[in-house]
Amino acid sequence: MTKRKYPHVQTDLYKGYVAVPEIIRKSSGIVINGKRFKAFLFTTDIALIMNNDADGIMAVYPFTPHPAIIKAITDVSTIPVMAGIAGGKTQGIRSANMALFAESHGCRAVVINSPTPVDTIEKINEMIDIPIILTVVSEYSDIETKIKAGVDIINISGAGETSKIVRKYREKYPDLPIIATGGPTNESIMETIEAGANAITYTPPSNGELFSRKMMDYRELEKERFNE
């Protein structure tokens, strides 16, 4: 079959958005309550959240989850948010309440970190009706009991070992939805997809890096104007 073309509409003020690598679109995607997700942007930066072409936001961060952060992100995001709500220190009823708060603010799923205990997952699962995503950081992680407790999707973040970890869990759980970090290159992203990942998280350039590029463009423009 001939690949169908589709129209693109681009307005002047939105040309500088963060584009996820096109190769991510080769993944199968994960359908969550009727919407397919292939590319997740891994960020909590409000400016980046408002200017990207990803399918969803993976809003997790290395601090205690807080309702104000969830509210700030969901207030500005035009795409679905997967919100971090539990982990090593934030557990129990607080995490369950955070999960309900995330759902009430329109989050499409909640994300829990690897150390989250089984009893906390059970409390979260009783509280909400959106999927629970478990971040997996090692091939030695015991996910069986956590899946039984209510985990719906795993999100593999294993640095250079990610594709290896994906392959292991894909072989063990053929039908389990798997999100994974794709790495910095098209080759590493494709390797992760071929290992069995259904969707990819992409870490965008920082606000500072993007601003640096824009400043270089501005300097060149000033130089051209000076030489005219």
Q: Kindly state whether residue 18 falls inside one of the protein's structural domains.
A: no
- CATH number assigned to the domain comprising residue 173: 3.20.20.60
User: What average pLDDT does the segment 117-121 reach?
Assistant: 96
8 A C-beta contact, residue 44 and residue 65: no
Q: Quick: pLDDT tens for 58-116.
A: 999 999 999 999 999 999 999 999 999 988 888 999 999 999 999 999 999 999 999 99
Determine if residue 94 is left, alpha or beta; phi over 0 gives left, psi from -120 to 50 gives alpha, anything else beta: alpha
Question: For 39-71, what is each residue's pLDDT tens digit?
Answer: 999 999 999 999 999 999 999 999 999 999 999
pLDDT, position 2: 65
pTM (whole model) above 0.85: yes
Range of the domain at 218: 24-227
Q: 160, exposed or middle or buried, with CB in 10 Å at 0-12, 13-18, 19+?
A: exposed
Please write the tens of the pLDDT for every residue from 134-147. Answer: 999 998 888 999 99
User: Does the residue 3 lie in any domain?
Assistant: no
Asked whether residue 147 is domain-assigned, the answer is yes
